[in-house]
Amino acid sequence: MCFREMKKHDERASDMGQAIKLTGGCLCGAVKFTATPENRRVGACHCDMCRRWTAGPFLSIGCANTIKIENDAAVAIYKSSEWAERHFCSKCGSTLWYKFVGPQEHFVSAEAFDDTAGFEFSHQNFMDEKPEYYNFSNETKNMTGAEVIAAYAPPSAGGDNV
């Protein structure tokens, strides 16, 4: 099954009601959106860029390409690397989602959703960039930055900018 076929398969699964559409938005209310998470597993990214962007570890949930934005005029985009963008509210600065440009994969801020019931904290990335001053006590699958890049980055991606 190629990547595109897998996406079609996912869309069919959501049509069948296996995935649930959730609502979300930014702090000021200028951006409202719906997205359908692939599952309820939340991941944290501790990399330098995510921490500076979100004022903490970036907690997100994979939503493939299911985001529908009500007012995309308020969404600002920062292209942080050759292969990814970071979208945020231009009025209040709220983090919205991290987007892989190629496969159109979106990792939506878990805290941008109106209701996080059922979310499960399952994995942590870039553990080698996590500052010493905090630790989560949840039992999670943890990967270093090199392990994350080896597992997910497109072959053309160079450097360690994510």
Q: Which of 91, 103, 128, 157 binds Zn ion (CB under 5 A)?
A: 91
- Which CB sits closer to Zn ion, 19 or 94? 94
C-alpha angle 13-99-157 in degrees, rounded to nearest 5: 115
Decide: is 32 part of the binding site for Zn ion (CB under 5 A): no
Taking the least distance from each CB to Zn ion, the nearer of 1 and 134 is 134
Label residue 126 left, alpha or beta by phi (over 0 means left) and psi (-120 to 50 means alpha): left
From residue 112 to residue 151, the character string flagging contacts with Zn ion as x (rule: CB under 5 A) and all else as - is: ----------------------------------------
Residue 77 CB, nearest approach to Zn ion (Å): 14
47 binds Zn ion, rule: CB under 5 A: yes
The tokens for 138 are 């949840």
Q: Is 50 in the site for Zn ion (CB under 5 A)?
A: yes
> How many residues make up the chain in this entry?
162
Sites for Zn ion among residues 71-90 (CB under 5 A):
89
When asked if residue 40 is in the footprint of Zn ion (CB under 5 A), the reply is: no
**45 touches Zn ion (CB under 5 A):** yes
How far is the C-alpha of 113 from the C-alpha of 33, rounded, in Å?
9
**CB burial readout 49-61, b (16+ within 10 A) else e:** bbbebbeebbbbb
Q: Are strands 32-35 and 22-25 parallel, antiparallel or unpaired?
A: antiparallel
Let me know how many helices (H) and strands (E) the chain has, helices first. 3, 11
- Region near Zn ion per CB under 5 A, out of 1-9, 22-30, 105-113, 116-124: 22-30
Where does this chain bind Zn ion (CB under 5 A)? 26, 28, 30, 45, 47, 50, 89, 91-92
